[in-house]
Structure formats: C-alpha cells, structure tokens
Structure 1
Amino acid sequence: MTIYDKPFKTYEEQIELLRTRNLNISDSEFAMHALDTISYYDLINRYQRYFMPDGEYFIEGTTIEQLYSLSMFDRSIQAFILKYSMFTENIFKTKLAYTLSKDFGVDMSVYLAKSKYKESYQSPNNVLTFDAVQLECLKTRNDNKIASNPTLYYREHHNHIPPWILLKNLSFSNSINLFKLLKNTQRDDVVNALLPDETGKTIPLNDKTNFIICALEAIRVFRNAAAHNLDFTALRTNETRKIPSSTLSKCLPGNLLIKKQNKKIGKNEKVYLKGIYGVMLSMMVLLKTDYLKKQFIVDFLSVFNGIDDDDRVIKPFLFQCYANIADMPMDTQDRFLIYLDQT
C-alpha cells in the first residue's frame, strides 16, 4: 500500500499544521476562509522563501492575515500585468498585420507563402522553422471550436482571411514566431513601427530587434504565469529571453526608472530587470503613446490604493515583502511618481 507523502488534510488539519510551524493564527474562522479561497499551496508555499527561510518554521510574529494580504496584493499586480500585456499584444499584432497586408496582400495563401519568409530562425535553445509556424496558422484558420472566432466568421462569410483577422485568433506565441521568421525588410518595418527613433536618440536596428523579441517573449511568459495562477513572483527571465538592459534604458528617459552610476547600470538594477519590474518597463516602452504610458503608471499606483491607508504597518510591510520576493526596487512607487511629474 502506498503511503503518500502529501496526503489530503481538512482545513482544520491544515490550520493545526500551520500552528505547529509557528504561524500566528488567532482567528480560526478567518484562517478557514483564507485556505478555502486561496488554497494552502498558494497561500503558504508560494511565499515560504521569505517567511520560512529554513523551510520548516515561520519567522516569529508571522500571521496568516499578513500572508493573505500579500496574496491579494500579488493578485492585484498580476491583474495589472494581464491588462497591459493584452494592450501590448494587440499593438504588436496590429503592427505585424499592417506590414503583412501592405507588403504581401490580404490573401492567406499569399501572405503566408513560404517564399515570403526565412526558412528558419535559430534561438539559443532550438531552431524554429517556417513550416511549423505555417502549420499553426493553418490550424487557427481551420479551428471550429471558438464560437466568437472572427477567423471562422471570415472563412464562412468572406472570400479571404486578411492578416488582421487571422492574428486575432493566432496565439501570442505563434504571432511572435511569425515575426521572427520575417525577412529583414518586413521585420525591420515592424521593428521601426514599434520602436521609432526619437529626436537625438538613435538605437541600432539589431539592438531594437533583439529587444523586441526578448521583451515580447518575457511579457508572454509572465502573462501566462498570471493567467494560470503559477508562481508569478518567482519568475525571472532566462538567457533566451533576457531583456537587454542597455537597450531598455535607452528607450526610457534619463535616470528616472533605471538608475545608473557613472552612466552604467548597476548590478542591483540588472537583477530588477530580470523580474516583474523589467517586464513592466518593457510593456511601457511598447505601449508607445505618452497617454498609454502615463495611464499604465496611474493604474500601477492605484494597486496600492487597495491597501488600507489607515493601517500604517501593513502598507509598507506588504510592498517590502513583495519587492524582496519579486526583486523589485523598493522605491518603485517613487520612481513612477517622479516619471509622471517630469514627463
């Protein structure tokens, strides 16, 4: 008979286990609510690196109310990331569809013709082939499962499926892959549309292209983690989608959001850019318009308004915990406030 090392436990048993691990639970009813709505794994395991450094016992004074508040704050950040990742995805797909339509036309057999693309794209971990991406595009065209599928509607009511319709149903991942396989003329067109050169500031085209690919991949991964309730705070960009800090810095004004010393980005700043903060700044850059960038910051700052202003302990405590776990600058709020004031 198998003895399971992670057996089922009732909420009452979970509460008693947490108490033996030194978690302060003064209100059993609240603890029951927390475990019933968030789950033991998401409430405890997700943040144990910060609150249980030895993996066995909570730091003295840790309460279940603190863990619950941190979890709710984390979900507010994730909802914010989801919202603006959708903005970013839509902007990217709009630019991509515009170039495909302008240069290749609106007939799928033409704008997805193999001759229009590179045969493959080499990334550090694998080789992406056009045949594989084209197959995913055809699957999207033939998908009958989504009732609100605009591609299906066009297939049944029009004589062609233009790029701006296909891309609405093509996944973010496959859209990025299609972009990677574009020949230089079309890919450069999309790159310059997403990152136009500013007056007095020119970024080499190769650097812009690399930044866009890495930023889009990172945004996609963080968005998926938020959407599927994965360990969002522990997520970091790896070498295959490491956001180039120097290019990101050039896309942002002055020394406001990425701190430099002697014109060099410090080690701590580079750590910040591997996590949520780097993805946030990348989304800001790709949002393009000043209006959207400022709205982005206003929405981020509004997350903090959801924390009770009357509690002079929980508010700074929450962000201090979150910043430590997610590798965000402790002065993130101040950086954004200064940016709003100076731009």
Structure 2
Amino acid sequence: MSVQGPRALKPFKTFPEQLQVLRDRGLGIEDEPSALAALERIGYYRLSGYFYPLRKTKPVGESGRLDDFVDGATMDLVIQIADFDKKLRLLTLYAIETIEVSVRVAVAHHLGRVKPDAHRHPSLLDGRFTSTKRNGDPSDYDGWIEKFEQLCEKSKEDFIDHHNGNYGGQMPIWVAIEAWDFGLLSRFFTGLKFRDKNAIAANYGLADGEVLRSWLRTFNFVRNVAAHHSRLWNRVNTDIPVLPPLERCRWLEPLHKDQNSLRRLFGALTLMRFMMRAIKPDSTWHEQLKEHMGSFPKTDLVSLKAAGFPDEWQELPIWK
C-alpha cells in the first residue's frame, strides 16, 4: 500500500486575491474596502475560525464543512462577530485576572503560615505530585520546579533581582507566587494535599478542592485562548469542569441540566461568575458581560446557542 507524502503548502495570495477566493465561495462582499481592511487588520487565517460556522455542512454522514458559504453569509457579518469576540476576550480576561490574583493570595496565605518557602518543601504536597514516576521519569513536582526556575531566570521583575541579591534567590511563597503564570498556579494547586485544596476552596464557597482544581484548569484554558487573541465565543472546553453536588450549590443547576452548556463558553463564564460573587461581590462584571452578549449580531445564521447560552440565560439566579 502506497503512503502519500505531505501535501504541498497553499500558495501565497495577496489581500485582493484572498477576497476573491471568498467571493467565489459565495461570501457576500457588501463593502470591498472594509473587507480588505479586515483582511489586513485581522488576517485571513485568523478570520477563518469565524468563517467556519457560516460554511455549508457536508452531506449526512460526513464530518466537517464545505468550502462554500451558506446563503446570506457576508463579510460584514464575519467582521461583526470577530469584533464582538475581541471585546468578549477582554471582558473574560478581566474576570480571570481577578480570580487568578485571589487564588494566588489564598494559596500563599494558607501554605505560608506552615513554612515561608512552602513551595520548596515536597513533604507539604501530595505524594502523587512529588513522587518519581514508575518508569523512572521525574515527578510532576520536579517539572514544576524546573518551570518555576526558568520563569525566575527570564523575569525582569525587581522583586526577583532583590531576592537574588539579598537572599541568594530564596523567596517566601507569597513573593514567589507572583512569578507564576496561571498554568503554574493551576499545576501547583493540583499538587496540594486534599485538606489544603479543600481549605482554599472554602474561601469561594466550595466544599471540595477537586472542584476548584477542575475550574482552574478550565479558566487556564480560556485564558490561553483569550490571551493569544484566538476565537473564543464558540470554543469548546478541552476538559468538562467538575461541578459540586446540586444539593450543595443550586446556583449551578443550569449546568447540571445541560452538559452542552457546561462544556462550552457559557459554562466557563458561569463558573467565573460564581467565583466573582465570592471574590468581589460589588463587581459589575456580570452586568457588563450581559450587556455585551446582547450585542451579538442579529442573524438567523449563527447564535449564542453555539456558545452554550440557553434562552433567557440573563434571568438565571446566578446572573442577577
């Protein structure tokens, strides 16, 4: 059986040539200068994620979509969705930053009282995180420490220089944690002992630290999408977040009832809303988000249902 080699790369196309490809595939071009400006400002490849739900579906039984667009699809609509998504990313990053900073403080305060440099003491962490792998590979903690030290080496923060010069690079956890990115924070939280995870989760009205661990993974995924300016509005989470039992948290009942909402953006935003209620009760973030979601382009071709938003979601108790 012959094995085909890799396909040839697609040829370079100028912006006008890219626009012609879209026109040939049935995308309506109502304002050519605006369409060209969007290709120059955003780029064809980045826009392709916004083109996708406007392309025709393949015959039943085949996955994916055709190159041709559905009737009524226009470049103006694509630009509206892309611009909508840009502001959505900014609103989402605000909430994630608030959550990240709060969890940093909670972790550092909880472990710092045990040992100032708790992050340097594997005995304070879960054995599954600190133990060498069965195949002899280094532990997850070893990989975590290596990543932490790399971040410190690359950092230009004054507090890193201060502790290098005055303390031989030693830092208490409440200082060191400021050098962690969200991924490092999430991985460290995963490596905590159950009792410590539970104690930290209690700050947010959660009885189970494993629930918060799961949420941090979800928030980290969403943060990475948003921070890299990627399409966010109809993205599917890589991991389905864990929910507390319904009898312990009625706020999240809509997510218990709808797995599609849970694994899509609506689920992640609802969990952020839960956290924001605990961290900053007077925040108007949820009102800003509701207002922005109401600005989604009015069209029969796509809707917020693709992001997991149910009808009348603004009236759900958690969003009031």
Other structure's SS at 2:68 match: coil
C-alpha distance in structure 2 between counterparts of 1:128 and 1:333, whole Å: 45
Shift of 1:156: 2.5
Other structure's SS at 1:242 match: coil
TM-score by length of 2: 0.81
C-alpha distance in structure 1 between counterparts of 2:313 and 2:54, whole Å: 20
C-alpha distance in structure 2 between counterparts of 1:184 and 1:259, whole Å: 28
Comparing 183-192 and 210-219, the one that deviates more: 183-192
TM-score by length of 1: 0.76
Change (3 A) 1:185 1:246: closer
Determine the structure 2 residue equivalent to 1:135. Answer: 146
Aligned partner (choices 15, 22, 46) of residue 26 of structure 2: 22
Summarize deviations over 1:58-107 as a string: whole Å, max 9, x none. 11121111110011111111111111111111111110000111122x2x
Change (3 A) 1:335 1:161: same
Aligned partner (choices 184, 202, 220) of residue 194 of structure 2: 184
Gaps of 5+ in 2: 1-5, 59-65, 132-136
- State yes or no: 1:277 paired with 2:266: yes
Other structure's SS at 1:232 match: coil
Shift of 1:19: 1.1
The AA in structure 2 aligned to 1:188 is N
Matches within 5 A, 1:211-230: 211-230=211-230
Aligned partner (choices 62, 67, 80) of residue 69 of structure 1: 80
The AA in structure 2 aligned to 1:155 is N
Determine the structure 1 residue equivalent to 2:110. Answer: 99
Residue-pair matches, total:
301
Determine the structure 1 residue equivalent to 2:185. Answer: 175
In 1, are the aligned partners of 2:53 and 2:302 still within 8 Å (CA)? no
Matches within 5 A, 1:144-293: 145-157=154-166, 160-195=170-205, 205=207, 208-238=208-238, 241-247=239-245, 250-253=248-251, 258-259=253-254, 265-266=256-257, 269-289=258-278, 291-292=280-281
Matches within 5 A, 1:75-90: 75-90=86-101
Shift of 1:127: 9.8
The AA in structure 1 aligned to 2:164 is R
Change (3 A) 1:52 1:292: farther
The AA in structure 2 aligned to 1:321 is V
- Percent of counterpart pairs with the same letter? 18
Shift of 1:51: 3.8
Determine the structure 2 residue equivalent to 1:311. Answer: none
The AA in structure 1 aligned to 2:222 is F
Summarize deviations over 1:22-66 as a string: whole Å, max 9, x none. 111132111111111111122234341344334221111211111
C-alpha distance in structure 1 between counterparts of 2:277 and 2:315, whole Å: 22
C-alpha distance in structure 2 between counterparts of 1:230 and 1:11, whole Å: 21
- State yes or no: 1:297 paired with 2:297: no
Determine the structure 2 residue equivalent to 1:52. Answer: 56
In 1, are the aligned partners of 2:190 and 2:213 still within 8 Å (CA)? yes
Shift of 1:177: 1.8
Shift of 1:216: 0.3
Q: CA RMSD in A?
A: 3.1
